[in-house]
Structure 1
Amino acid sequence: MSEQEPTSGSELNEVEQTDKEHVFGTWSFQKEVSPTQVVDSDGVRFTTAAGDEYIDFSGQLMCSNLGHSADAVADAIDEQVRETAYIAPNYTTEARSELGRKLAEVTPGDLSKTFFSTSGTEATEAAIKIARAYTGKQKIVSRYRSYHGATYGSISVTGDPRRLKAEPGIPGTIKAPDPYAYGSTLDPMESVEYIDEMLELEGDTVAAVLVEPIVGSNGILVPPDEYLPRLKEIAHDHGALLICDEVMAGFGRTGEWFGCDVFDVEPDIMTMAKGLTGAYQPLGATIVTSEIAEHFEENMFCHGHTYAGHPAAVAAGNAAIDTYREENLIERASEVGEYLGERIEDLAEKHPSVGDTRGVGLFRGIELTKHPEKRVPFGTREDKISPGSTVVDEVSARAKEHGTYVANMINTLIIAPPLTITEDEIDEAIDAIDAALEVSDAAMDSVSTT
């Protein structure tokens, strides 16, 4: 499906119609785009021009970690814009230097120096260029069920089927299998050993292995505890770096600061965005170890952006990190996430169309099936780049009718609410999904229910 919010099929208002005529809808066949005007948001809820209010059970595109009432972040943006709205990257501000310092504090191990950009895809572009420059090698190994961004470098290392529309991409990108216990022929730990053989057969030509520690929009895939440590060992054995894409899993969503913290692994390079500002400003970041940073003292760092370290964006980042700390949102996500996991398991026991549930903290996925024994999906990878809707889309639409917005990607409902969500709000959203899953239950193959 596209990443547009499901709509009720009502006529577009003037704002929505103007938007449809003059603005591209992302990842969509434009004839199917039907934008919904949002006029207000507060806490974990948002309201449309039609007066409909929804619980934001996916944090929009899994980025509104702080919800819609982070006043400290909004105030920091306002104050910074009035002081200095923009300066060129060869200047600095207190906000930029402070955010660099704070990221060195909250990221694991020796990660210490950051390049700021404006999105997750740009953070990936920087990571690719840094890895190639530092190692002197060209190839990047990533995985099939992954998403790393939309620009040419990042879509090339993406495994998600959206990359097919952009091929041929940049040279030197190689795809590996995923730790997908429910839908792959390989056991997760077999898949990581497959990567070991890949690097062996590629010879000394691989600059880095790039992974989401917990896969996001391609299914919320949580590997075994030993997977990521073993992957780092494999990469280093072959003279390659480990790049962790924390754009979606980062900043508390897993109950830790970052997804790699769940597995006690320090990557060589880390990318981030989304929760870095709680989506209050567009900001991406690529942070590297001190050893990699030292390389560029005598070798040119050949990368940059006009808006690298934009004052308003980094001010938002500082305020966001302060909010995570002061409101104990990282720890809270772990505690409330346990409750969320229990409620999702309640759904799995009740609805035969729930094939698998996965996740950590407030980062959860519900994968649907029309035949649980054969694990037959309702949505396929081909559907991602094809017109029309799927049963999974219909489930999301039904949840919306019951007051809850939940995104879906391919065959999985993506549950990633703001870290401020309460147990009562979780119950309300789960009730909506409970009603929505009746759609997929009714659409199951008859043989699977007999």
Structure 2
Amino acid sequence: MAERDSPADTGPNEVERTDREHVFGTWSYQKEVDPTEVVSTEGVRFTTADGDEYIDLSSQLMCSNLGHEAEGVADAVAEQVRETPYVAPGYTTEARAKLGEALAEVTPGDLSKTFFSTSGTEAVEAAIKIARFYTGKRKIVSRYRSYHGATYGSISVTGDPRRLPAEPGIPGTIKAPDPYAYGSSMDPMESVDYIDEMLELEGDTVAAVLVEPIVGSNGILVPPDEYLPRLKEVAHDHGALLVCDEVMSGFGRTGEWFGTDVFGVEPDIMTMAKGLTGAYQPLGATVVTDEIADHFEENMFCHGHTYSGHPVAVAAGLAAVETYREENLIERAAEVGEYLGERIEELGERHPSVGDTRGVGLFRGIELTKHPEKRVPFGEREDKIGEGNTVVDEVAARAADHGTYVANMINTLIVAPPLTITEAEIDEAMAALDAGLEVSDAAMETPE
């Protein structure tokens, strides 16, 4: 795939200048913020103000699961805005009731009752509070290679380096090792034994173990099949709940409804957002089992938001669930995901700077290495809160020059396209990544 001609650099347009002046860029040194105006989207593509079109190989921030033209969702949003744009959470709407029912149907086990919020981080905040209310305990065990959100509770249970500037966080958060075969000295299943010992040594004080079933923005880390079932046993043996953060891995991303379905596990609490509406509206959800729900019949559910169950957001969520079902997108993601995995493995075989490829369904990671014989990363954890660009950033930039947007986190390219992507579009995107990986190949160390 040839690199396209770049237009003469005329600098930012008026919208980009205005945004740069008046709007904070997220997770950034503001001097490095350089927003690009998007003017249209269609299918799995988006177009910028300068006329460049990109395949959206990461579903923006791994959230546009339905692509950019889910008409049923758009119509539901428009209809709800005109009919009932907002009511207080003490009231309800048909869409809110039906979405709660639909989530009880598609989530595993007896997860049955939902608290609606507006984002993944709020969904995790609710999960932390619910676990503490229900168990009467205070501590939350999470893992180092994790991201659970930006608000104070969720950033406190996050292991990602972005938590460091916010510390000290909320009391009672403890970090555990990860099932990361590529970059850890500990075998993935040994990390479960470590958590078992942690819970034993903490005594009867841990309310929950909180994990992403498949780690998302910290590298697309897929645990062994027996990991999550064993982790649930360990948590329950110590009187703790298992909370699964499905904000990124939910709604077909893995070729199943949820990441926990890949491993046949039924968590006590599940959080979700992103694919819940396909990013057509901001909506988060925290779903609990019958047993936990029953606890709050006689005990106060001391939590809420003005926009909990916002009519327009839940209308989008209900339409999204219907779209996943009616268009068989979960099954399709599994099928197309196999093809994507094969194409990524081919890239790994061609490029020596690819140290590892991993993932399931349409949730894939390409981890880079600077050494042909050793797994030496180009990007380090501290780069997440550092200045400047890394080689991994440059790989993504080269792919963009060839018409494909791919997100990258620390040392991993995150390949998580909309569930509607075709094999032909995958081929086009892989050609762009092929060009991008030439950058990291050229930057490798020469072995002594």
TM class by shorter chain equals over 0.9
Per-residue deviation at 1:9? 7.3
Per-residue deviation at 1:156? 0.0
- Matched residue, 2:425: 425
| CA distances 1:243-289 after superposition (whole Å, capped 9, x unpaired) | 00000000000000000000000000000000000000000000000
2:9, 2:51 → 1: CA distance?
15
- Matched residue, 2:29: 29
Is 1:336 the counterpart of 2:344? The answer is no
Alignment of structure 1 residues 29-428 onto 2, 5 Å: 29-428=29-428
1:390 counterpart letter in structure 2: T
1:414, 1:9 → 2: CA distance?
28
1:9, 1:147 → 2: CA distance?
36
Are 2:372 and 2:444, in contact at CA under 8 Å, matched by a contact in 1? no
Are 2:366 and 2:412, in contact at CA under 8 Å, matched by a contact in 1? yes
Q: 1:31 to 1:10 in 2, by over 3 A?
A: farther
Runs of 5+ consecutive residues of structure 1 not aligned to the other structure: 1-7
**Secondary structure at 1:112 match in 2:** strand
- Matched residue, 1:4: none
1:376, 1:258 → 2: CA distance?
32
1:86, 1:132 → 2: CA distance?
31
1:18, 1:333 → 2: CA distance?
39
1:143 counterpart letter in structure 2: R
| CA distances 1:349-400 after superposition (whole Å, capped 9, x unpaired) | 0000000001000000000000143210000011000110000000000000
**Secondary structure at 1:114 match in 2:** strand
Per-residue deviation at 1:175? 0.2
1:108, 1:40 → 2: CA distance?
37
**After TM superposition, what 4+ stretches of structure 1 lie above 4 angstroms from structure 2?**
none
1:257, 1:246 → 2: CA distance?
10
Are 2:208 and 2:240, in contact at CA under 8 Å, matched by a contact in 1? yes
2:140 counterpart letter in structure 1: I
1:265 counterpart letter in structure 2: V
**Secondary structure at 1:446 match in 2:** coil
Give the total of aligned pairs. Answer: 441
| CA distances 1:212-257 after superposition (whole Å, capped 9, x unpaired) | 0000000000000000000000000000000000000000000000
1:318, 1:275 → 2: CA distance?
12
**Secondary structure at 1:267 match in 2:** coil
| CA distances 1:102-130 after superposition (whole Å, capped 9, x unpaired) | 00000000000000000000000000000
- What RMSD, in angstroms, separates the aligned Cα atoms of the two structures? 0.8
1:432 counterpart letter in structure 2: A
Are 2:176 and 2:195, in contact at CA under 8 Å, matched by a contact in 1? yes
Per-residue deviation at 1:11? 1.1
2:367 counterpart letter in structure 1: E
2:322 counterpart letter in structure 1: D
1:410 counterpart letter in structure 2: I
Runs of 5+ consecutive residues of structure 2 not aligned to the other structure: 1-7
| CA distances 1:142-200 after superposition (whole Å, capped 9, x unpaired) | 00000000000000000000000100000000000000000000010011111000000
2:40, 2:312 → 1: CA distance?
22
1:9, 1:306 → 2: CA distance?
45
1:118 counterpart letter in structure 2: T
Per-residue deviation at 1:10? 5.9
1:193 counterpart letter in structure 2: D
1:183, 1:127 → 2: CA distance?
29
| CA distances 1:305-339 after superposition (whole Å, capped 9, x unpaired) | 00000000000000000000000000000000000
**Secondary structure at 2:190 match in 1:** helix
2:392, 2:255 → 1: CA distance?
27
1:121, 1:358 → 2: CA distance?
26
**Secondary structure at 2:286 match in 1:** strand
